[in-house]
Amino acid sequence: MNQNLQSLSTGTAWCPRISLPCTDRQLATILQPLLCHTPHRPAELACDDLTAAEQLPHSLPKDCRLLLCCPIVRSQDIPRLTALAMAHPVTVVVGHFRHVELVAAAARAARQTISVLVELSLGRQLSGITAGPDAASLIAAIRRRSEIKLRALFLRNPCQAETDPESQRRALQSGLAMCQHTLRMLRPDGSENSAASHAADCSIVLGQLPVELLPDFHGSAVCNPWPGKTSTTAPDAVNPQPDAGIPALVVTRPNLELCVVACFPAITMHNKCQWLVPAPAGAVVIDQIDHYFTLQVSGPALDLKIGDEIRLKIATPTNQTQPIT
């Protein structure tokens, strides 16, 4: 944690991203250094999904802000987001007009303003919206709604596909340039001067960034996970999959032939697995990044829509077949 805080550029906040339940003692361990770090007043915690946010200890201070990194995709989750927004200031990641509608409904029910981060798709990460005109149209729709407020753009993991520091740095700069291009489209004059560019950087939140690159990022916040690393124990030893498979929700449909689903049990963090979709017919997993799976769809699977639930099953461990690439 201290390494994250000490490496951050001035004015950039760290929002520790939590995926598993934490105790009161663990929560205090997280909050104490955040509150001593200048940009974190009040502190903000990022949560992988709505369930992780709901499982935070009741001792969480009322002014602590919460950032939900996964969009709300089902109508039945509106009351859950409403309750959360009534308890804490909340920001939610969105990447589709449907996400915006659901967050707006929760904000009206809570009689609170809910902030949103607009996620941009980048490389293999297809859970957001395409940068440029598509993102600008979504932002325009957000700005027409008084119950929600645009906070910033969101890149989930700009360096995910890179391993060496120089390639990661180039990937980060490419992602930031894409964000700045989108933000310039929102300004009447399309300004590209240095002051405007700096303002654009301040309107970007990253879902994850290698510690070595934290000094290079001058945006609003970084949501690096806490704790930093997960166990590398074999998947079956961590959390055996039920016979029926593991539930996953459709987050977005980037195009007619692709579908992105999110699945948050700990077992899905082990990328060294081959995954199957038993139903509907025609859905094939072609990529996985952390908890997010990209499916190629045909036949009956073409009817999948945002909010639908499917099941994922492990086909074969990596030591018997090649991992998804």
Q: Tokens 């201290």: give the residue.
A: 2
Give the chain's radius of gyration (CA, Å): 19
Topology, domain 2-222: TIM Barrel (3.20.20)
Between CA 34 and CA 91 the distance in angstroms is 18
The C-alpha angle with vertex 296 and arms to 92 and 238, in degrees rounded to 5, equals: 65
Q: Looking at residue 162, what is its pLDDT? A: 85
**In sequence order, what DSSP letters do the residues of 259-289 get, joined into one string?**
EEEE--SGGGG--SEEEE--SSTTEEEEEEE
- Give the three-state DSSP class for 316: strand
pTM for the whole thing? 0.88
Per-residue pLDDT tens over the stretch 279-306: 999 999 999 988 999 999 999 999 999 9
10-residue stretch averages of pLDDT, the chain, 325 residues long: 76 87 87 77 91 92 94 97 97 97 98 97 90 93 95 93 90 92 78 48 86 90 77 44 82 95 78 85 93 95 97 69 46
Per-domain boundaries in the chain: 2-222, 235-320
- Give the three-state DSSP class for 242: coil
Topology, domain 235-320: Elongation Factor Tu (Ef-tu); domain 3 (2.40.30)
Q: Looking at residue 44, what is its pLDDT? A: 93
Between CA 129 and CA 60 the distance in angstroms is 32
The whole-angstrom distance between residue 101's C-alpha and the CA centroid of its chain comes to 18
In the chain, what are the helix, strand and coil shares in percent, each to the nearest 5? Answer: 35, 25, 40
Domains 2-222 and 235-320 in one fold: no
